[in-house]
Amino acid sequence: AMTLSQNGTGTGSGQLSAIEEAKKSAAIACAKKHIPSSGCRLGVGSGSTVKHLVDYLAENYANGSINNLVCVATSYQTKRWLFEANLPMSDLDLTPELDVCIDGADEVDKEFNLIKGGGGCLAREKIVQTAAKKFYVIADYTKQSAFLGEKYKYVPIEVLPFAAEPLLRWLPAREGGSAELRMAARKCGPVITDNNNYIIDWHFDKTTQHNWKETQMRLNNTPGVVDCGLFVGVTDGVFFAYPDGSVQEL
């Protein structure tokens, strides 16, 4: 582990909560280390931590510190942020190979295995991550766990709407725990992903030990499952930021 920065002085931190400061510190430390100043094809993840990455890119692209950049978004929301920040965008049709992908996570274990998909973007996130040569995770201290499930309670799974009802029965029958269709904020209907699918949150049994690699393979091999929020063995590095402003690259 290497301490990358100490920023506990409070400089410019008047507006942000401690947790937002941590997200921002993680995003900036990762960008400084892994985004080259010229010629990067960058996969841009989703979520509130990634928003700080977009802000950093916007500033450094506008002032010329970063140039020849091309960004591929992992969600509609990220695409909007990139657009509003005047950052150059591409897609996987035009740019199927990426140099680096940077994304957030909901939980990160000691081996850098992840649970993602809290925001429902997991399928595009995994495609963009797979298209990139290197994959780095940016996270605040609340996401750091000894093992998956220590803090987080469920694995988000993107499913075809046609298969949602049977999957709500098959998944707990086979894997234990319980399964819930994720509903939109005002509960009039299910969350619809960027791919026009549904999300099932599988609340796994915390009293049994899980082999997450095998679980991921079984989930992804189930008819109707598009992808799941388990990212096992794909992370090249994690940037954790702490309340004192320090960032560690693990």
Catalytically active residues, by annotation: 125
Residue selected from 61, 81, 119, 123 as contacting ligand 5RP according to rule CB under 6 A: 119
Which residue intervals of the chain are DSSP H helices? 18-34, 48-62, 76-84, 122-131, 164-175, 212-220
Is residue 35 near ligand 5RP by the rule CB under 6 A? no
Edge-first strand listing for the sheet containing 41-44? 2-5, 247-249, 237-241, 132-140, 98-103, 41-44, 70-73, 89-90
Task: Please give the structure tokens belonging to residue 202.
Answer: 């599988």
Say whether residue 158 binds ligand 5RP (CB under 6 A). Answer: no
Give dist(CA 47, CA 213) in Å, integer.
24
Work out which of 43, 120, 224, 245 binds ligand 5RP, going by CB under 6 A: 120
Q: Which member of 31, 105, 148, 232 binds ligand 5RP (CB under 6 A)? A: 105
DSSP single-letter state for residue 36:
-
Least CB distance to ligand 5RP at residue 124 (A): 9
Binding of ligand 5RP by 43 (CB under 6 A): no
Q: Cβ(247)–Cβ(27) under 8 Å?
A: no
Local structure of 30: helix, strand or coil:
helix
According to CB under 6 A, which one of 104, 149, 224, 245 is a site residue for ligand 5RP? 104
Q: Which residues contact 185 (CB under 8 A, 6 or more apart)?
A: none
Which residue lies nearer to ligand 5RP by CB, 170 or 236? 236
Q: Which is nearer to ligand 5RP, 207 or 220 (CB)?
A: 220
Eight-class DSSP state of 214: H
Which residue, 114 or 179, has its beta carbon nearer to ligand 5RP? 114
Which residues on adjacent β-strands are paired with residue 198? 159
Per CB under 6 A, does 122 bind ligand 5RP? yes
- Tally of CA atoms within 13 A in the half-sphere of 199 that contains its CB: 23
Residue 103 binds ligand 5RP (CB under 6 A)? yes
Residues numbered 125 to 154 that lie near ligand 5RP (CB under 6 A) are 125
Q: Which residue is nearest to ligand 5RP (CB)?
A: 47
Count residues near ligand 5RP (CB under 6 A).
17
Which of these ranges, 3-11, 28-36, 120-128, 241-249, lies near ligand 5RP under the rule CB under 6 A?
120-128
The footprint of ligand 5RP (CB under 6 A) covers: 45-49, 103-106, 116-122, 125
